[in-house]
Chains A and B, each alone.
Chain A
Amino acid sequence: MLAGMTTNVVFGLLRVAVLAAALRAANGEIADYDIAATNTFVWIGQGLLGFVLLWGTNELAERVRSGDVVVDLYRPWHLQSALLAQDAGRAGFAFLTRLAPPMVFGMALFPFQFPATALQWPLFLLSAVLALVVSFAFRFLIDVSAFWLLDNRGLYGFWNITSGVLCGLTVPVAFFPDWARDVLWLTPFPALLQAPIDVFLGHGSAPGILLYQVFWAAAMLGLGHLALQRAVRRVVVQGG
């Protein structure tokens, strides 16, 4: 927990330094981001990373590999809902230990762009929760792929590498060329991180962003549900 917190903050410092250098080279502003907005982007991003758990534990996939997933399937529950509930519990704890500390750290020590209206705070929270659901749905799909792939570590690695760039962790999605930015907003990736940050910064229309997130949360969960259903019909439980 302390290690995670520290890592988040240290990486935050690195990213602030890199992006600040880029801003200076670009005369202080890139696509709506001045130095305060950039700091805010970094520190919220560092906090959300642990809250939505962009890079998860691949636990379900490991259970599929070992065959322990039978125990999950023997229970009278909807596995996806049960795991979502579990993830929500984890996120509740992460809110205090992973989301809040880097944000407070950034607010206290760096020029910070606070929301212009008080309403943006609850909207930001709502958006963060939706981001959590989309993130869970992504991770669940990758996990469920193990029913077919058996060893999904390749896919998982690919996700770890690409998701950061596509969701607006590495640089704001707004920094991309116009066409790439527009294409990205048609995918669920910005819903993972960029969306709540935009709501906080007041970039774009908050209701529009929230609707976009709701759509992808529902779509990705639905996809996960169907995938699990198919997986269970064809499941061959490993071992014993």
Chain B
Amino acid sequence: MIEVRELRREFKVATSKGLRRRYKTVTAVDDVTFGVEAGEAVGYVGPNGAGKSTTIKMLTGILVPTSGHVRVNGVDPSRQRRDLARRIGVVFGQRSQLWWDLPLRDSFDLLRSIYRVPAADHRDRLDECVELLGLRGFLATPVRQLSLGQRMRGEITAALLHAPELLVLDEPTIGLDLESKERLREFLADINARRGTTLLLTTHDLDDIERLCPRLMVIDHGRVLADGPLDELRAEVTPERELVIDLREPGPPPDVPGVTAVRSEANGLRHHLTFRRVETTAAQLITRVVSRVEVHDLAVVEPQIDDVIRKLYQRQAGQARASVES
């Protein structure tokens, strides 16, 4: 579905003002290579300025690459932008493709004409979205009067009415409340599973990834830091898990082999212990701990996806430093 090889995009940035401007070249995307198969759901994450949006603009043909090879759906996006536009859907969390003053339904009608969708197909797809996203209550409301959550549901519908094979979502859940987010994720997971629509989404909300994307790509400074199933990445960068125990009486952390005490709270009532999952299982550990001290409560904490990604950034920074020093 997507094929990217050594993709690169540089920008010229003025470094001085005045008549004789000096420019420096900034590389936003630095020889990125990856592929996405039809039907996959891929999360594309990275800090602000990492090159996510630049990549997406090149994938959708808005931006011409400085060098490298891109194929989406078999076509070169920047040369065949209009052909491609008919076959992909794009949703921006921070922009709108709906008509501000028109009722949602009229926006959809306009899109039907723009994409030349047969009336019957349009009706079926619209009905499905109306049902699953619960749009019925505000189809006749002008877009400017919709809440953000309602509008985003409208945006997603708008992007799906021409049955795109690939749906690109740029921070689709930004600013939404928890319930709206969850509803959107559920819907996206459903169309990915049922219709086989390929999803590529950028986000800062890692729950989106956890919930939707079996595969995660992490980018920073224009380079891909990691690419693979979320579980594998988690195991790779954070091989340690955490066990939190609350003691009945305040005391020192129990001394158990294979366990490191990281910190104590509440005057020694609560202790955070870490252990390596390849060496010990949580069950073995709990048995040992419980045999030594009197435990009130305990919990095993999986590393949060934020931690995973933070570790990935740090690893990259560490490697960069190492290569400078050597």
Contacts and interface: CB of A to CB of B under 8 A. Distances in A.
* A associates with B: yes
Interface of A: 67-68, 70-71, 73-78, 82, 232-237, 240
A70 B114 contact: no
Contact of B97 (A74, A77, A236): A74
Contacts of A70: 57, 62, 92, 95
Contacts of A75: 85, 97, 114
B170 interface: yes
Interface of B: 11, 53, 57, 60, 62-64, 81-83, 85-86, 90, 92, 94-97, 114-115, 170-171
Contacts of B85: 74-76
A105 B64 CA distance: 54
B11 A74 contact: no
A237 B57 contact: yes
B60 A74 contact: yes
Contacts of A232: 81
A96 to B, nearest CB: 20
Given A235-B62, A236-B11, A73 B96 contact: no
Nearest to B168: A74
A71 B62 contact: no
B95 A76 contact: no
Contacts of B81: 73, 232
A230 to B, nearest CB: 12
A234 B9 CA distance: 12
22 contacts: A68-B95, A68-B96, A70-B57, A70-B92, A70-B95, A71-B95, A74-B60, A74-B85, A74-B90, A74-B97, A76-B85, A76-B114, A76-B115, A78-B82, A235-B62, A236-B63, A237-B57, A237-B62, A237-B63, A240-B95, A240-B170, A240-B171
A67 B96 CA distance: 11
B122 to A, nearest CB: 15
A67 B83 contact: no
